[in-house]
Amino acid sequence: MSTDTRTQPSGPGPYEAGFTESGANRVYTVTGGDWEQVLGAGEEGAERIVVNMGPQHPSTHGVLRLVLDIEGETVLQTRLVIGYLHTGIEKSCEFRTWTQAVTYLTRADYLSPLYSETAFCLSVERLLGITDQVPERATVIRVLVMELQRISSHLVGLATSGMELGATTAMIVGFREREKILDLLELITGLRMNHAYVRPGGLAQDLPDGAEKAIMEFLADMPGRIKEYHRLLTGQPIWKNRLIDVNYLDAASCLALGVTGPILRAAGLPWDLRKTMPYCGYETYEFDVPTATEADSFARYLVRLEEMGESLKIVEQCLDKLAKLGPGPVMVADKKIAWPAQLSVGSDGMGNSLDHIRKIMGTSMEALIHHFKLVTEGFRVPPGQVYTAVEAPRGELGCHVVSDGGTKPFRVHLRDPSFVNLQAVPAMTEGGQVGDVIVAVASVDPVLGGVDR
């Protein structure tokens, strides 16, 4: 064995890895940089210090790290460090069929998974050329469950913001109403979260018996709850002083950074893809796009509260549409694409569809073989690429899908709004107070599952 070792001629920089060579092997040694060396501390401005906020900090939920360069209580520079929740979702989709990929994508933004499912399925349907063949009942139900989840997501934003800013009652009431929505989604999809309910060509199953009645009961109760949030927080001096004129970000800055969603609308620009670039028949629904002009954290809070009320209007219209449509299919008629949509939800929350299997086994061997091939191999999607965007609770959620003509995606990429909107945190916080950094992150309402994915 050779004992010859050679060391890298010059010392590594603060972000570089040194190495040694032993025979044919090269061994890298990665060490953390010295912050004094990186920032040039010890020169003028020695009063500045570098502190870590997160990932263990409660307001960053264990998955986001902020490196703050501060002088006294003033933030001079904010750097965001992500990757603590990386799961490889997009890459994993390349090794599963088009239908199975939904099961991965629903785990990206885990507070609004139905939006990732819908964006992906709309893209696949465009590649297949079956957009107009998706049953209207399936499209209406997609809108219904998405709007329920928009309310649920905003409730989590309200609850966690209250928790992080000391208004713990807001957390209690926020999760109280969210629990009701999760119960509804469990009734409809079989699961409280990560539903895999929206599938290419339609839905996993129709609304079960009693779903409409349960939703109507929720619609009767929720408007009063929103008024309760206003009484609890909106007029409270402490809450207002904590949010008003804090973390200002105007519309021009939002556009320069690519920020969308409530942050952009709170800066005065009524950009909502449901209105500006309609999909899933949103042009047929009556609702308003709440906006504000103050462009601060308080305006973002108010916009989200108003959006909950508009989503309730849309859900009510969905129920009216479903009543007029009556019973019908929720999956495309093409059996070479359509997974069984008359599923029996089992105790594990998954559609086992034993009745369907018994039916096709008693019909013909060809039907059973086709079902086996569809589930195990999947359907082929013509070569091409598309980008489809939907208005998720945090802004524009886009899905770029590439097909090489096979039974699996060649490439899937999400344009997650949390990832883009996080860029606004330095613009909001630099020059402000350390305590307002927590307010900024809360007002952005990021979900790191979508950021890291």
Domains in the chain with CATH codes:
1-33 (no CATH), 89-337+379-452 (1.10.645.10)
Phi, psi of 347 (to 5 degrees): -65, -20
> Residue 85: enclosing H or E segment and its boundaries?
none
- 253 against 378, higher pLDDT: 253
CA-to-CA dists, residue 86 to 64, 82, 83, 107, 381, angstroms: 11, 9, 5, 11, 28
316 pLDDT band, cuts 50/70/90, is very high
Both structure tokens of 436: 């307002």
Burial 97-130 (b: 16+ CB within 10 A, else e): bbbbbbbbbbbbbbbbbbbbbbbbbbbbbbbbeb
Element (H, E) at 345: none
Q: Which amino acid is at 417?
A: P
Q: What's the mean pLDDT in 278-283? A: 94
Nearest to 297 by CA among 435, 451, 452, 152: 435
Whether residue 379 has pLDDT greater than 60: yes
CB 279 within 8 A of CB 273: yes
Average pLDDT in the 135-155 region?
95
Tell me what pLDDT residue 28 has: 63
User: Crossing angle, helix 297-325 and helix 435-444, to 10 degrees?
Assistant: 20
Looking from the CA of 53 toward its CB, the CA atoms found within 13 Å total 21
Does residue 258 have a pLDDT over 70? Answer: yes
Average pLDDT taken over every residue of the chain: 85
Alpha carbon distance 163, 336 (integer Å): 49
Of 35-49, 105-119, 184-198, 416-430, the one with minimum mean pLDDT is 35-49
Q: pTM, whole model, 2 decimals? A: 0.85
**420 to 82, 235, 415, 431: CA distances (angstroms):** 12, 31, 8, 21
Answer whether residue 347 shows pLDDT above 60: no
Average pLDDT over residues 83-96: 91
Mean pLDDT of the 379-401 span: 94
What is the model's pLDDT at position 24? 63
Q: What is the pLDDT of residue 416?
A: 93
Residue 5 is predicted with a pLDDT of 44
Provide mean pLDDT across the span 25-47. 56
Let me know: does 387 contact 109? Beta carbons within 8 Å.
no
